[in-house]
Amino acid sequence: MIEQTDKNSFMQNSPSNPRLESWKTFFKKLRKNRAATVGGILILLFIIIALIGPFFVPYDGTEQNHMNKLSAPSAEHWFGTDHHGRDIFSRIIHGMSITLFIGFSSVAIGTVVGVFLGLISGYYGKRIDAVIMRTMDVLLAFPGILLALAIVSVLGGSLTNVIIAVGIFAIPSFARIVRGSTLAVKKLEYIDAVKALGASDGRIIFKHILPNVLSPIIVQSSLYMASAILTASGLSFLGMGAQPPTPEWGAMLSAGRSYMFDAPHVALFPGLAIVIVVLAFNIFGDGLRDALDPKMKN
């Protein structure tokens, strides 16, 4: 009996896993933010629709029916048809996978390159820091949409070039955020201890500094998804991104502006799709920021 009591007492007083406790605290804070929960559910729903939705849509997104042009929303065509008689609902579902692919791909480019440059700049400092940060300042001197527009103008209009342009636009933001976090982390005592043990610079940077600067990277990635989708849609709206008949939302919105008075649904539903997706990523990113910020209290 005494042994069992001592065992229970030991289990209650034994220290828990700090990493597990931190994740529990993170999810607890995230669940308390209702807006972030709604945003996360919407994002998960969008991803599922993008993956399996094109297999269940009632019509082909590129199939034309000139006998049924500019039809209003009905039971047969939920969102109506466009100026070529194509089902708008089917095109929006097909376009969701394109939009999310552009967003995730461009954010991946900006994150990988920006994080690497920020780590190198913050860790080594001096001339390396000066060269990298002045280059980032030059990129930041241009408004985001103008920088992306200039890059696409040079490379040519296509989805691949849009992804590259939006990814390059994201690099300075990630680089500056990671550099600031790296400067703070490398001054901690355990970094000096690891150096004294003879660890290489690469091991210190990627094993000891990078895990401690992941929080701002995650938050910035989720928030930048909205900007990436909005910028890509803007480029397609200007005719610099996806080319017809690709069912990209920005291109659909551009085509629908000619029928704003005769058939407003042609532009209304692609515009609403862009707004809802961008809003979902924004409110989810805000929730992540609150949950990962150590200054935020319960």
Residue 228 tokens read as: 């990436």
Across the range 78-88, mean pLDDT stands at: 87
Which candidate, 226, 108, 210, 118, places its Cα nearest to that of 168?
108
* Interatomic CA distance for residues 208 and 292, integer angstroms: 19
Half-sphere exposure for 54 (CA within 13 Å, toward CB): 13
Tell whether the model's pLDDT for residue 17 goes beyond 70: no
In Å, how far are 1, 60, 226 from 65, measured between CA atoms? 82, 11, 34
State phi, psi for 87 to the nearest 5 degrees. Answer: -70, 120
What is d(CA 224, CA 222) in angstroms, rounded to the nearest whole number?
6
Average pLDDT score, the chain: 83
Q: What is the pLDDT of residue 256?
A: 87
Question: Which pLDDT does position 60 carry in this prediction?
Answer: 82
Residues 6+ apart with CB under 8 A from 30: 36, 37, 40, 287, 288, 291
Q: What is the pLDDT of residues 269-293, one digit of tens each?
A: 999 999 999 999 998 888 888 777 6
Residue 178 pLDDT:
93
Domains by residue range for the chain, with CATH:
32-53+88-292 (1.10.3720.10)
Q: What is the pLDDT of residues 196-216, one digit of tens each?
A: 888 888 888 888 888 888 888
| DSSP track, 233-289 | HHHHHTTSSS-TTS--HHHHHHHHGGGTTT-THHHHHHHHHHHHHHHHHHHHHHHHH
CB 279 within 8 A of CB 273: no
Q: How far apart are CA 80 and CA 92, in angstroms?
A: 11
Average pLDDT of the segment spanning 54-69: 82
Average pLDDT over residues 73-89: 87
- Give the C-alpha separation, 268 to 291, whole Å: 35
Which of the residue ranges 39-43, 88-92, 191-195, 223-227 would you say has the lowest mean pLDDT? 191-195
User: What's the average model confidence in pLDDT over 157-175?
Assistant: 88
Residue of 234, 279, 276 whose CA lies nearest to 143: 234
Answer yes or no: pTM beyond 0.95. Answer: no
What b/e readout covers 245-273, taking b as 16+ CB neighbours within 10 angstroms?
ebbbbbbbbbbbeebeeebebbbbbbbeb
pLDDT tens digits, residue range 259-273?
A: 888 888 888 999 999
Q: How confident is the model at residue 10 (pLDDT cuts 50, 70, 90)?
A: very low
The residue written with tokens 């408004």 in the block is 143
